Amino acid sequence: MIPIAFGWEHVLFANWRVDADVIDAHIPDALAVQECDGSGWLSIVPFRNVDVRPRGLPASLGIPVPELNLRTYVTCNGEQGVYFFNLDASSLLATVGARLTHHLPYYYSRIRMEGEDGRVRFDNRRLHPGDRPVTFSATYGPTGDPFEAEPGSLTEFLTERRRLYTQDTSGRIRYTDISHERWPLYDAEWTVEANTLFEANAFDHPEGDPILYYSPRTDVVTTRSKRWRS
């Protein structure tokens, strides 16, 4: 359960309003859906992990790992964080390691991620044996000028998180704390050709267009996974 250091780059936050009761049926009983602006939220987040290595080792020893996740926003005894329904990654080693050390729902996928003319092309196809298939293909990028989320804003709620919760094989809640600078953000635009993430996680596809944010890069360190004790 070692702490990890890495960078997140070319991050897209695609956020949909979803009724909190719908989300609540999909999360552990010990967690509560956190609402903002009158609703719960589901977010799809494609990005590239870079320089992934045990904390304390130099970045030159790290590896790149593209990733795609579906997440929501929760509290545990009032402490806010995120809860992941899936994390698809292109590294078999990272998938196995994250499942074993942080009890996260990682799935092995084939991911192609390319950048050109200020836009990112992201294609994901899940290869994990015995699990629901997932396909996701989109092109996205920033628009306008950079900004930081205002304290107390919806943008801050959807982006500035410093803890993740998960559930181990014994049903116990665990958490990992995350440290990084505040996100440099842009408004974003995207074109989506395929997206089965919601269906793969037993959600109906939310209605309406998502709220989109893009961030070019931030560096991250995590703690080890710890058991939640109320």
- pLDDT tens per residue, range 157-209: 999 999 999 999 899 999 999 999 999 999 999 999 999 999 999 999 999 99
How much is the pTM?
0.95
SS3 221: strand
| Helical segments of 29-121, H only | 92-102
Please, what is the Cα angle at 189 between 183 and 192, to 5 degrees? 115
**What does CATH list as the number for 4-227?**
2.40.400.10
- pLDDT tens per residue, range 129-155: 878 899 999 999 999 999 999 999 999
Cα four-point dihedral sign 89, 180, 216, 61 = negative
**What single string gives the DSSP state of each residue in 131-184?**
S---EEEEEEEEEEEEE-PPTTSHHHHHH---EEEEE-TTS-EEEEEEE-PPPP
CA proximity to 123, closest of 70, 193, 213 = 193
Strands 79-89 and 106-116, bridge-based pairing = parallel
Provide the CA 190 distance to its chain's centre, in angstroms: 17
**Furthest-apart CA atoms within the chain: distance in Å:** 49
Query: Residue 206's pLDDT is what?
Result: 97
